Amino acid sequence: MQQIPLEMVKDIQNKIADLKIECGEWGQDRRYKYLLEKSLEIDIERDIGTSIYLANDWNTKALMLWVLSNWEKLQKPLLWEMENMLRPKDNQITPDMIARARDYPITQLIEFTRGKTRCISGTHTDTNPSMSYKPNFLHCFSCGYHADSIAVCMQVKNLSFPEAVKWLNS
């Protein structure tokens, strides 16, 4: 799989932000309607899947059970974005603030010895440092935990996402 250069990603993000400003309220209204339609489609597909699950043999039921569990994963981000669109806009976090927070050096949040540290996930006890970092990204080789600067700040400082973004931008 080929990776997209970081400059290209940032350029695309900037163009999307400009387009959102340009479209204004009409664009937000259209996006909300699109999300609502997609969410309803997922509901209908889930209902059809449930009826198939109830009417068929055990092999089909096992497959449908797996499919039904994945529909929630599809719908959750849509519902989250819809809720986010309806929230009041005071003290709003912008995509630019999130990008700056992700660029915050992790080495200023956690102390590293020779490029490694003990895992911060809390899922296992670390006797030897098993967590390493690359620029603004952590990975624990013992438990598979990985995080960017925002997630590390949330974990270490016990902050919510918006609080962590604001803290990293201050």
Q: What is the CATH number of the domain that holds 133?
A: 3.90.580.10
Q: What is the model's pLDDT at position 78?
A: 78
Candidates 92, 85, 77, 93; CA nearest to 29 is 85
Tell which of 62, 87, 112 closes a domain: 87
What pTM value is reported for the model?
Answer: 0.46
Residues 74 and 35 grouped into a single domain: yes
Q: Consecutive 10-residue runs of the chain (170 residues): their mean pLDDT? A: 73 77 77 83 77 71 72 77 68 80 82 73 68 77 78 85 87
Task: Note whether residue 124 is domain-resident.
Answer: yes
pLDDT digits (tens, 9 = 90+) for 96-109: 888 888 888 887 88
Number of domain units in the chain: 2
DSSP letters of 105-163? -GGGTS--BTTEE---SSSS--SS--EEEETTEEEETTT--EEEHHHHHHHHHT--HHH
Domain enclosing residue 70, as ranges: 19-87
